[in-house]
Amino acid sequence: NAGVTQTPKFRVLKTGQSMTLLCAQDMNHEYMYWYRQDPGMGLRLIHYSVGEGTTAKGEVPDGYNVSRLKKQNFLLGLESAAPSQTSVYFCASSYFLANTYEQYFGPGTRLTVT
């Protein structure tokens, strides 16, 4: 049981380049989330999904797009990277059962945009 995995672990982009971050979970969780974490800012929700084929915006969605074509995968895309998107990106997943929905996090992707 791998839990939540993220690829890549590290990436350096130049301004204007695009990339896709991949999150995969093998726990059959319905819900998946993308967060970014910056020093002093805690965890900020970018986008989330409550099921296959559905996505919704979080607190800071601008500059990002997502897709959830398969239940186990949640992709985060940056179409035109900006230095402000330098951050650590975490994917998380959870089930929702009787008011219990702890989130399981992946190891993170450290992205630098120059």
Partner 1 sequence: GQQVMQIPQYQHVQEGEDFTTYCNSSTTLSNIQWYKQRPGGHPVFLIQLVKSGEVKKQKRLTFQFGEAKKNSSLHITATQTTDVGTYFCAGPNAGNNRKLIWGLGTSLAVNP
Residues in touch with partner 1 (CB under 8 A): 31, 33, 40-43, 45, 48, 50, 58, 90, 92, 96, 99-108
d(CA 20, CA 43): 20
As measured in angstroms, the least distance from the Cβ of 14 to partner 1 is: 25
* Residue nearer to partner 1 on the CB measure, 69 or 98: 98
As measured in angstroms, the least distance from the Cβ of 16 to partner 1 is: 29
87's CB contacts (< 8 A; 6+ apart) are 36, 37, 38, 111
As measured in angstroms, the least distance from the Cβ of 48 to partner 1 is: 7
* Residue nearer to partner 1 on the CB measure, 13 or 36: 36
Is the separation of the CB atoms in 46 and 61 below 8 Å?
yes
As measured in angstroms, the least distance from the Cβ of 96 to partner 1 is: 7
* Residue nearer to partner 1 on the CB measure, 17 or 31: 31
* Residue nearer to partner 1 on the CB measure, 17 or 30: 30
Is the separation of the CB atoms in 47 and 89 below 8 Å?
no
| DSSP assignment of 52-94 | TTEEEE-S--TT-EEE-SSTTEEEEEESS--GGG-EEEEEEEE
